[in-house]
Chains A and B, each alone.
Chain A
C-alpha cells in the first residue's frame, strides 16, 4: 500500500469536516430563509401581505385630491370557524392620503364562544406596500360569544406614493379559527 496513506487519511478527514461545516452553514441558511422571506415580502410586496401592526399617521401626510383610487373589500371565512363575515361596503372611492373607515360585520352562528384571527391580503401585491392601516380588527385575535354580532372596523389610508398605474386595490381578509390554527 501507499506509504503516504496515514497523512492522506488525516487530510481527508480534515477536508470532510470542513465540508460538514458547509452543510451546517447551508442548514443555517435554510432556517434564515424563513425570516428573510418575510422581510423580503415586506419590502417588495412579493406576496401581498400587509403590515400586521398599526402605522402611525405622519404629520406630513397630504391628501392627493387630484386622484381617485377604488378600494374593494372582500372576505372569506375558512372552514372550521362558525362565523359569518361580510364587508358592509363592497367598495369605496378614496383620495390617496385620505383616512377612511371601512367596516365588516361578523357573527358567531354557533352556541360556542370562538376566537378567530383575520389574515389580510392586498392585491395587486405591490399595492400592499402603500395600503396603511391605522386601526384594524386584524391586529388582534377577535372573540365572539355564542350568537354575538360585532362590527369590525378598519381605519386606513392609501399612501399618496401609490404608483400611478394602480387604480384598483382590493383588501381581503381570510378569517381563521385560532383553535384549528393551534391544533
Chain B
C-alpha cells in the first residue's frame, strides 16, 4: 500500500512543488567563490556531495529492491540462513567498515587535509592587515598598515527600520547593506585579525570561504585574497543577542588604483571630520546631527523614543546618568557621568570612543540631554570630547 501511494501521489506532488519552485530564482549551491580558499572549499564540497549522494543512492537502491521484492504480500518467505549472530555475519559487516575507512581517510580525507592547510595559511606573505572588531551589533574596521594605516570606521546596518517592519517596500540588498563598506584591493593577500568588545561574533562572507570567530579578549586571524572586483556581502553567524540578524558585512573589492583613490578620499574625510571638532557648534546643529547619530547607533537598544528595553537597556528618558553633570569644576570628565558612559562604555554599553568621532559623540550626548523629556539645556562641544582623546 505504501509503495502504491508513492507511485500514485509522488509525481503529482513533485509537479505541484516544482511549479511553486520554478517561478523563483533559487540558488542550489555556494555563491560564486572569489578567493582561492572559497574555490577550494567549493571543489571539496562538490566532490563530497557527489560521494555522499552515491552512497545514498546505492544504499537506498538496495533497500528499495529489498522492499519491493522481499514482501509478505508477494508471498516471499523469510530466509532462514541467518542465525542471530554467526561468523559470516561478522565478516560481512567488515565490508561497510572497510569501505568507510577508505572514504574517510583517502577519498575524502586527503583533499580535506589540503584544504585545512590552505585555510590556515595566514602566517606569511600578507600584503596588508585589516583588524575587525565585532560589537553588539556592528563591525568596526581598522587598517593596520600601508597607505591606509589609521583609517578606522564602524559599519552599521543601513536598511531602514520601515523596511524591517514592513512599512516600506524592501530594497534590493535588504539587511545586507551597510553605511560604510570595507574596501579592499583585489589580488592582495589580506590578513584579517579578529577580536570583539563584548560577546562572540563570527565574521563571514560566503564568497570568501572564510569564517572566523571574534572572541572578546582574544585575537584570531584568517585571510582573504579576492581575485575578482565586486561587492561581497556577508553576515555575523554566531548568535550575539537581539541584533544578531542585523549586523551585515559588505566588502568592496576594487583594483589597486581605485583602492588608492579610496584611501586618499577616506583620509580626507576623516581629516575633515576631525577638523569639525575644532570649531564651535551651535546647540541646534549638535541636536540635529545627534538625532541622526542616535537613530543609527543607539536606537536599536534605547529605542527611538528613548524608553529603552529595561532591564538590559535602560530608558534614557528621565535617566539619572543623563540628568547629572558631565565635567567637574576642574574640567575633568566625571566618572560614571553621561559622557563617560557614552565615551567609555560599561558592561553591555559599548565604548563609543573607538567607533564614533568627536563631533558624533558630542552631538549625540547633546541630543540625549535635550530629548525624550530630558531638559538639561546644555551642550557638549566636540572640542571637549577631542580633549579626552
By a beta-carbon cutoff of 8 Å, the part of chain A in contact with chain B is 47-49, 72, 74, 76-84, 90-91, 109-112, 114, 119, 121-124, 127, 146-147, 165-168, 170, 172, 174, 176, 180
Contacts and interface: CB of A to CB of B under 8 A. Distances in A.
A72 B349 CA distance: 28
Contacts of B197: 76, 78-79
A170 to B, nearest CB: 6
B388 interface: yes
Contacts of A79: 197-198, 344-351
Contact of B340 (A49, A76, A82): A82
25 contacts: A47-B218, A48-B219, A48-B220, A74-B131, A74-B142, A74-B144, A74-B193, A74-B219, A77-B351, A77-B354, A78-B217, A80-B345, A84-B388, A109-B343, A110-B333, A110-B334, A112-B335, A119-B217, A121-B195, A123-B221, A147-B332, A168-B123, A170-B193, A174-B216, A180-B347
B389 interface: yes
A42 B193 CA distance: 21
Contacts of A123: 193, 219-221
Closest 3 CB pairs of A and B: A79-B345, A112-B335, A167-B124
B169 to A, nearest CB: 37
Given A48-B218, A119-B217, A82 B333 contact: yes
A167 B125 contact: yes
Interface in B333-378: 333-336, 340, 343-351, 353-354
B122 interface: yes
A111 B335 contact: yes
B133 interface: yes
Interface in B87-127: 120, 122-126
A82 to B, nearest CB: 4
A165 B349 contact: no
Contacts of A74: 131, 142, 144, 193, 219
B145 interface: yes
B249 interface: no
Contacts of A176: 217
B221 A124 contact: yes
A124 B120 CA distance: 9
Given A110-B334, A110-B335, A123-B219, A80 B123 contact: no
Nearest to A79: B345
Contacts of A119: 217
A91 B345 contact: no
Interface residues of B, number: 45
Interface in B214-230: 216-221
B129 A72 contact: yes
Contacts of A47: 218
B71 interface: no
B170 interface: no
Interface in B281-315: none
A109 B361 CA distance: 15
A122 B346 CA distance: 25
B301 to A, nearest CB: 13
Contacts of A82: 333, 335, 340, 343-344
B149 A110 contact: no
Contact of A172 (B219, B328, B348): B219
Nearest to A169: B123
Contact of A91 (B123, B144, B353): B144
Contact of B217 (A84, A121, A124, A127): A121
B191 interface: yes
B304 to A, nearest CB: 23
B328 A111 contact: yes
Contacts of B122: 124, 168
B353 A84 contact: yes
A122 B344 CA distance: 25
B221 A170 contact: yes
A109 B333 contact: yes
B332 A111 contact: yes
Contacts of A127: 123
B53 to A, nearest CB: 36
B285 to A, nearest CB: 25
B133 A109 contact: no
A166 B346 contact: no
Contacts of A174: 195, 216-218
A121 B195 CA distance: 10
A146 B350 CA distance: 21
A78 B216 contact: yes
A36 B144 CA distance: 35
A110 B340 contact: yes
Given A111-B334, A124-B221, A168-B191, A76 B123 contact: no
Interface string B186-221: 000001010101100000000000000000111111
Contacts of A81: 344, 351
Contacts of A76: 133, 195, 197, 354
A75 to B, nearest CB: 10
